[in-house]
Structure formats: C-alpha cells, structure tokens
Structure 1
Amino acid sequence: MIEVVASLSRGPVFLAGETLECLITFTNPLSHRSTSASSEMLAWASAQIHCQFHASENRVMLPSETPKQDVQAENETVLVPNRGERGQCFLATPPKILFCDLRLDPGESKSYSYRETVPVEGPPSFRGQSVKYVYKLTIGCQRVNSPIKLLRVPFRVLVVHGVEDTQFHHDEAVAPSNPFLEEEEGTKKDSRLVELATEMLMMATSRRSQHLFNITNARGKVGKFCIFKTIYRIGEDIVGTFDFSEGDIPCLQFSVSLQSEEHVLEKYQRRPNQPASLTAHARHQESCLHTASTHFCLPIPLSATPGFSTDIVALRWRLHFEFVTAGEPMEPPTVPENQSEIITWTGAEQINVDTFSWDLPIKVLPTNPVLASYVAQFSGANSIMI
C-alpha cells in the first residue's frame, strides 16, 4: 500500500488569479506486522483544479443538454477529476503530470510540488439553497492494471473584481518585503496580488459618510436611523444607531437581521415570480420603550460568501428591520417630588401595536484570503491509501 498525502501550503482559501501550491507526498510505509515488505510501484499521477456546479432541481431549471458519456467508464487510464461527483464540471484547468513509473522501497517517500493559477473567469465558492460552486484539487493515481484512485482537496475561492486586469511591472515585483528573505518570482507576484486586492478592498470599504433615514409608519414618525457606510468586507462589524427621542409614535421593540438573498435569474426559475432564498447570518433584537437612543452591532461572518452574480444566480445582501410600535401615545413614568416611599412602575398589561418592516440593501465584499483561512471549514490537507 502507498499513502498519498496532499497539503495546501498556504491554507485552504485563495483569490481568483492567485497561484495555488500543494505539496503531494507518496510514501511506502514500513509494516510493523510483517517483515516481508516489498517495493511498491505507481504507473503515474497527475493533478488538476476543477469547479463543480450543482443546481437544485426544485428551484433551478437548466436548459436540457445531451448527456455526456463518462470517459472514465470507457478508459480506465484517463483522469476524470469529477468522476462520481454531483452536478457538472463548471471549469477545469489542464491536468499536470506529477510523475510516471514511480518505485518506492519500504519506508521511502517522495514529494512533488503542484502549482496552478486559480482561474479568474470562475465564480466564487458558494453553497446556496439554489446552486453550489465547489472548488477542488483532484490528484489521480494509478497502479499498473488497476483503476484510478482519486484524492480530492477542497478549497475556497474569493473573487475581487478588477485585480485580474492589473499588469505587474517587473521592477514592481522584484523587491521582497523582507530583504533577508529570497522569494521566488511566482511568490512575489502572488504576494503583490493579495496586497493589491487588500488595498482595493480597504479603499472601497473605508469611505464613511453619514446616512440618515427617517423611520415612519402610517401614524407618524417613529425615529431616526443612522449608519456610516453601506459597503463592508466579510469579517467586519455593521454598526448602526437609533434615535427615538423625537418620535411621535413610541417604539416598543425592534430587530435587525443581516440577510443574504439568493436570486435565480428569471429565465432559469423553476416557477414564475419565484421568491429569493433568504439566509440570516446575524440578528439583534431589543425592547426599547422609553428609550431615547440605542445601537446595534452585527458581525459579518468570515465564512459568508460576498455578493456576486453569474448567468444563473445573483447573491445580494441587506439589513432587514422589523419594528413594533404602540397604537397610541404612552406617557413615560413620573416620580412625584419629595417622594419618601419606593414606587414600582409596572408596564401596561395590554397595548395595541402596529408592526412594519424595512429593508436596507448593503454590499459585502471579500477580504484577505489569509484572514479567511482561519475559519475555513476545510483543513487544506487530505490523504488516501492506494
């Protein structure tokens, strides 16, 4: 038996256009139970990146296509990276051969480095209710006269628009950040790509300007809402404030939810006027009777998918507000002057209330892939025995 271990060197999250590097190690382990260990032989091994697309049959109606034959079923020597996977292969890089005719003695191991640029034309990683875009690195290995064995390493892709059009000058990428540390040319370019993407995201999300909204219903003014920006990166906190001091209608309770909307484009909808799929990521609820001002803070999870759009689906973000207001004015509690005894104020047993909601669209952008790697659901390393 040969053990194959694949490990992503920089973590399981990458920017589109960045170079993925994976160290693949083949080992013929020593057997402690048997003294008759022998050499092991592999005919070949190759690696390939592919994006797997899957659509929900209940929500998405894809155009019918002629079913493709599984090449792997006809020829056991051909690598089909998505064999046995659900859905269809959305895009794939050309396969790269790691070796041919590898012989390993007992206890011997050999490592190979696989490098490939993550395609810029693909969508970001996304696991929604209507569609899924899943990226994987697949390593195929085969013994002589044996079927191909596949080792898959899933990873996450973030897309920052505009970075793929940037041309790096030679003198712009020659100086490493540490003068005592030599870097390969590809590493320099990837480092510069991540730095440029981070700068673009910082510039887009650092602009602050006060946005004021009047909260009103059919009876009158409830209060004011203030937020300082509407563009955020995943991992940031959304902070907003409420001012109910000048409201004519008492607000008894409010809630704010951070939601993503998954819209299937009209021509691919399974049913006419199909509603968007909503996913709540954070929620704040507060009782605010006789409250002059208050605030909320909602974190955007690093594991969330930033907004994007493809030919089939669009992902958008919003803040969803719900307000519960009193049907009539309510006097605040008063304490008489020179009161010597303790007074307990008790709220009303019954209040006629009105409810209404409001949605505020916001933009959610990616972040530094290194930061997103800390909360990734993938380990970045997998192994099989063949």
Structure 2
Amino acid sequence: MSDTHVAALVGNGLSISVNNQMTLRSITTEVVARIGESDGDDVSVAMRGIADRALPDGAGSDGDFEVLLGAFDAERRNLELLEVLSAATGQRDDDELQQAIRRTARFAERVRDSGVSHALEVIAERSRANEESSGALREFVRAIVTEFTGDVSFGNLNYDTLLLASLLRECKDEVADMGHGQLGGELTIAHDWSIAGYPLRQCADDFPATHRVRLLHLHGSLAYWDDGTGTHLKISRDRVTPELWRAVRDGNCSARPDVVLTTQHDKATAVEATPFRLPYEMFGTALRGSTHWLIVGYSFRDAPVNKMLRESFDGHELPKVLVITHGDSPTRSEVERALGWDPECDGNANWLSIDREGAAGAHERHRWSRFVR
C-alpha cells in the first residue's frame, strides 16, 4: 500500500484544547488590562487611547483580538500613506514636513510594537501547558503522524509553540520547521545582549528531504524574529522572556517578532512578504498533493487562508476533509463556501465530515476512523 499524505491546518482551537485561557477573547481582555496598567509615558498614553477607541466596551468576541491589534497597525500604515500623499502633492522637498511625518511614523511604530508585544507576551505565558493537557495534544499528534505514513504538513496559524513541542516529543527525528537545524545567526537586543538563533529557511529546498513532517507557521511564531536588518531568525523558546518583551516596548532594540498581526485587509499584503510567503506556498503545495485534509480549530474567517484553501481545492481530485471544531461554528455551509463548493451546482459534499466535540480525543472518535480508512 502506498503512503498517504495529509495536510493539517491548525487554528486557535487546538491551543484552546490545551489551555482554555487561550481563547482570543480572553487574551484580548488581558491585553487591554495590561495596556491600562502600563506606565504613563507617551507611548502608553497613545496605546490606551487607541484601545479605548477600538474597543470602548472591552473584548466581547474572538474577533476583537484582530480589531485591537489591527488598530495599532493601522496608525502606522496611515502615516505611510501620508508620506506618499505629501510627495504626490508636490511637498516632497518640504524637509520640515517630511521629518515631522517620519518622527510621527516612528512613534506609531513604537505604539504598534508595544501593543503586539503585550499580546504575544500573554500568549507566551498561557501557552505553557500543564502536563495533562499537553499529554492529550501529544496523543493527537501521535495519531496523525502514525496514521499517515507519507508527508505530514502542518499549516499552523498559532503564534505559540505548543504544536512544535508536541511534535518534538513524538517525532523529533522526522520533523522540520522554518528554522535551520544549526545555529548560524545572532539576534542583537542591546549592545551587550544578543541571542543565538537559527536562520529561517528561504526556499522549499532548504527543508531536508529526510524529514517527512513539516511545521509551517503561516503567520509567524513567538520564536521567529526579524533582527531589524531583514535577517529572519528562530530563537529558542526559553529565550523568549519577559525581559525580551520589555525591551521591545522600551524601544531599546531594533529586533521585532516575525508575526502577522493586523487587519484582514492588510493580511493579504503581509503574507506576501518574507518570511510568510514561503510557508503559504509550501502549504498550498501540500494541500494540492494530499488526499486528506485535516482542519482543526479554525474559524474559516481568515481571508488569505480561505483563498489558499479555495485555490488548492479548485481542480483538485476531491480530498477527504475532516473539520474538527467545538460547538456549532463554523456551519457546514460556511466550510463549503470557504472551499468554493456550491451544493446546488456541485451536489452533496460527501467528502466533508465535521466533528464538533473539540480536538481533545478526536482521534478516538468515529469520524476520525472514517477519515483515515
């Protein structure tokens, strides 16, 4: 029997199965609280003003996470447009105006970086799973890599390292992520503080052919950083400390986390840039080459991800698709629509199965059995 390939798209629901404080609403509530408690410098005052304007009544839904972080990024992007506009209106030579715009843009970047650092710090703290919960995740991961003997490609939408930790426990010698296996870079935080890192892979050929399990962080990771000069590195999880987040907020380092944290509108542009373009391309290739698609804890509300799914599904020999969620969302019609399937024209989606009991123990339920056989 030939090997069977699987492409597994993983969203926030998988992290929630490990720690129920990983819901986006809960994270947003904590981020807003920390912003409110932050020191009274100009950046903190600006952050509180933006947060109050974006979420005047606090966090009421998972979607507010993107609203809040998108609001911080929008201020920076608006100033980029202002600089273009000033040039287009013949004011390119107005040095005083240009300098004022650039100063304000740098300030907006600090505000954005502070907001992002608060969010990622909360995620980092809460992604340290207890043994029982992480054990359930490892069992699920073990079932996936054992059942599918061909290529196993994970497209991870989470910023935490929970899935990576489980993969390293279950199949360390078979897994490769975006980081090269040998140290070869250095992330400079301050003149007397640097962190050794692994350069991120730059093309598909950089992944070792001997490793059939690939972890592709589509929107970045707590451990992925831009050193400020365009060099992208992975650092060890244990080096992602409160002191590192504080350095980002204080404006004392040029390094920034490599993550996509912006509005849906701007995500489409962000994922075309390095280092996100490569994992998107590779996961799209994995989808088109896999007979089985496993989608875990994903809301089907992310436009670039839905586009990738739809384009990979179109013209593809119908894969078997198992969606694992918790509760009534997403609906079957929402899944079909995201994949470009029209029941009136295309008939019943017999290829699709939905398990609504959550990720924990999913490999022990009957829908999993039907999916893998």
Bucket of the pairwise TM-score, normalised by the shorter protein: under 0.3
Which has the larger helix fraction? Answer: 2
Q: Which has the larger radius of gyration?
A: 1
Task: Give the TM-score of the pair, scaled to structure 2.
Answer: 0.22
Which has the larger strand fraction? Answer: 1
Task: Give the TM-score of the pair, scaled to structure 1.
Answer: 0.21
